[in-house]
Structure 1
């Protein structure tokens, strides 16, 4: 039996992780889960999976959840960041699925790394904001980081045939989101509902907006640089609307190996949970003859400037990716609350980057200081 903790069990990745657990209940046991506000779903998950610990970030909601559960339930209910860290550090857990969204995942992930846990990484912000600091910590504490994002899982699987040293380039595929092929004039008037209509994937609001701006792909570029120890110029982004080729690697002999499959996040989640072996499942099989054709395009970084900003942040180094990520989180929230327009997201990100002088990341405090810089700068811009 393999014991797992799921940070963010009520979100898209979290609920699909529980689907994998249901499929393999004889081999996987959930011992800790966390959520934010959705205590009704947390209650259902507690009753079904009987975790020993559950953290609700909202303290008031945590008290409500305690009252909703009968006295026979043995699950310990915690709250706040301390509770989130407790779930990440939980003694029994061998694998920590980091499925929370945003920089809130940084501290618990670091705590789990320091306990030598295996990290099934779905919270890309951890590497985007922490970069080589996080990777160095993982090496120091012998903590394995296994990618859950479909693209990084595809690269990871492709590399199983060779080694990082033989990489010529990484080919990172993107669906193009709901606005593929649109120009800046069109994007001036798009609504929140327009931006939330992803053509291929069902995800949370924040990541769906990031997919619409191509910032999600930009964050994946930054994550790939640190995960696979490559230079920014070794990463090529290709728009692939069908989302069948999840990503690939071109090696030094110019052969390319890629991983294909239907758009189903349960597959990379399962691969991370059972790595290094593969397990059977009941999911739908890929039929290339049914798909018919696969197409590829260059992304338009002039229209979707967030992708270009990610490459610029990598070149600047230090805390610049941290600042870009924090700025983007704030801007997406402003957009979802109808306080800025869709195009403002990229424009404000660029303004904040221009005001930042990056420094080397040597602690969590450095990362948090960059976040404070963004908050103050954003206030001055708005």
Structure 2
């Protein structure tokens, strides 16, 4: 029985992971779960899976904390990010699945790696911000890194045992998000509600918004750079509206290997938890005769300027990916609060990057400080 620590259990990836664990109840047990503040949902999950340890990173009110503990006195319940990191250091688990949204998941990835455990990573920001620190730690501690993102899971599977010298290029597919067909003249009037409606995937709010701007693909290019050790000029994203092919690996002989299925996160989650084995499952089934015609197209710079800003920042490296990611998180909050329009998200991010002096090899402390400072500065300015 493989023991799982699930971080971000109340979110979209967490919900899909729980579906996998229900089906595979003889293979996996849940020993630690975290949420930000949705205590009703996490307590319900804890009762179903009999989870011994729970962590809430966003609940600070002592009265609320006492009420939560009173509802589940048989469980260890901790509060705050530091307490979650402590629980990850003390709990007996085999795999930590980090599905915390955004930069808030950074420290948890390091805590799992520090234990020498398998890190099933859905939190791409951990590599975007600190890949130069996280990967050496994983190696030093004998830990293991498995991607949960569907695109990187697809690449991981397609590469297999092939050496990097045989890989010509990685092709990361992108749905195009909510506005791939919207006339550009209508972008100024895009609403929050429109931006949160993804055409293919059922995802959390941040990832859905990042898909609409295509910033998520810039993050995924950076993530692929760290995961697979390839230079940026050998990684590209391409629009694939059907989201059936999740990514492709192009080899030096000209052949392409792709992984495909109907779009459902339960499949890459199951793979990350069960690797190197494949477990029988009925959760995701693909009927080839029912699939739509598949198409591909380049990413339009005018429609998705934030993707191209992300590529520039990726090439610059250092602390600038952290600055850009933090600026984007702040801009998304401002957009959701109706303080800026959709087309202003790029400008907020570009201004933050232009106003920051790069640091080539930032420490984890520098990264955490810059992430917090950039975010606060932008929020205060509006």
Q: Are the equivalent residues in 2 in contact too, given 1:5–1:87 (CA < 8 A)? A: no
Structure 1: gaps (5+ residues): none
Secondary structure of the residue aligned to 1:178 is helix
- Deviations along 1:183-240, whole A, 9 cap, x unmatched? 4421111000000110011111111111111011111111111111111111111100
Task: Determine the C-alpha separation between the residues in 2 that align with 1:375 and 1:21.
Answer: 36
Q: Which secondary structure does the structure 1 equivalent of 2:120 belong to?
A: strand
TM-score (norm 2): 0.96
Asked if 1 retains the 8 angstrom alpha-carbon contact of 2:55 and 2:77, the reply is yes
Q: 2:319·2:362 contact (CA, 8 Å) conserved in 1? A: no
Match of 1:180 in 2: 180
2:66 aligned residue: 63
Q: Does the aligned pair in 2 maintain the 1:319–1:358 contact within 8 Å? A: yes
Between the aligned partners of 1:96 and 1:379, the Cα distance in structure 2 is 32
How many pairs align?
379
**Partner secondary structure for residue 188 of structure 1:** helix
Contact kept? 2:330, 2:379, Cα under 8 Å: no
RMSD: 1.5
C-alpha change, 1:376 and 1:194, in structure 2 (3 Å) is closer
Over 3 Å counting, the alpha-carbon distance change for 1:164 and 1:87 in structure 2 is: farther
- The answer as to whether partners of 2:174 and 2:240 remain within 8 angstroms in 1 is yes
Alpha-carbon displacement from aligned partner over 1:68-126 (angstroms, at most 9, x marks no partner):
23x4xx21000001222133334311100001101111112111111111100001111
Whether the 8 Å CA contact 2:130–2:367 is kept in 1: the answer is yes
**Contact 1:238–1:298 under 8 Å retained in 2:** yes
Larger CA deviation: 200-209 vs 53-62: 53-62
CA distance in 2, matches of 1:35, 1:121: 16
Partner of 2:189: helix, strand, or coil? coil
Q: Secondary structure at the match of 2:321?
A: helix
Q: Distance in 2 between matches of 1:68 and 1:108?
A: 26
Q: Distance in 2 between matches of 1:202 and 1:379?
A: 28
- What does residue 96 of structure 1 align with? 96
1:111-154 CA-to-partner distances (Å, cap 9, x unmatched) read 11111111000011111111222112111112111000000000
TM-score by length of structure 1 reads 0.96
* Counterpart-to-counterpart distance in 2, 1:54 and 1:208: 27
Give me the whole-angstrom Cα distance separating, in 1, the residues matched to 2:49 and 2:142.
29
User: Which segments of 5 or more consecutive residues in structure 2 lack a partner in the other structure?
Assistant: none
Report the counterpart of residue 261 of structure 2 in structure 1.
261
> Which secondary structure state, in structure 2, belongs to the residue aligned with residue 92 of structure 1?
coil
2:132 pairs with 1:132: yes
Contact preservation (8 Å) 2:329, 2:375: no
Give the equivalent residue in structure 1 for 2:193. 193
In 1, Cα distance between the equivalents of 2:93 and 2:286?
A: 33
Alignment check: 8 A CA contact 2:266 2:284 kept? no
